[in-house]
Amino acid sequence: MRKFDPWPVFFKREWNRNWPFIVGFATTGAIITKYSLSLTEEDAKKSPFVQRHKKKYVEKYPDVIVRLNHLNHGDLANVWYLC
C-alpha cells in the first residue's frame, strides 16, 4: 500500500491562497524592469536622485567608481548598480 503524499495537497492549497501575491510581484517586477531598461545617459544626468546618490558614492567609494567607469566606459549600469 502506498503512503499518502501531502505535498500535492499543500501546494494546491498554498497556490489558491497565494496566487494574487505571486502575480502581483511578477507584474511589478516586469514594470520596474521595463522602465529601468528604457533609461538613458541623459535621463541619469537630469535626475536629481541619481546625481545625489552618485555624489554620495563618489565621496564614499571613489576607487570603486573609477574601476566601474573604466570597465564599462561610463555606462548607465554603473549609476544604477550603486543606487
Assess whether 45 and 29 both reside in one domain. Answer: no
Residue range of the domain that includes 50: 41-83
Whole-model pTM: value is 0.48
Q: Which of these, 52, 59, 60, lies nearest to 83 by C-alpha position? A: 52
How many residues in the chain?
A: 83
Give per-residue pLDDT as tens, 43-81.
877 888 877 777 666 666 666 555 555 545 445 554 555
First to last CA, the chain: 58
Q: Check residue 59 and give left, alpha or beta (phi > 0: left; psi -120 to 50: alpha).
A: alpha
| Residue 44 · residue 76 · CB < 8 Å | yes
- Are 25 and 58 in a shared domain? no
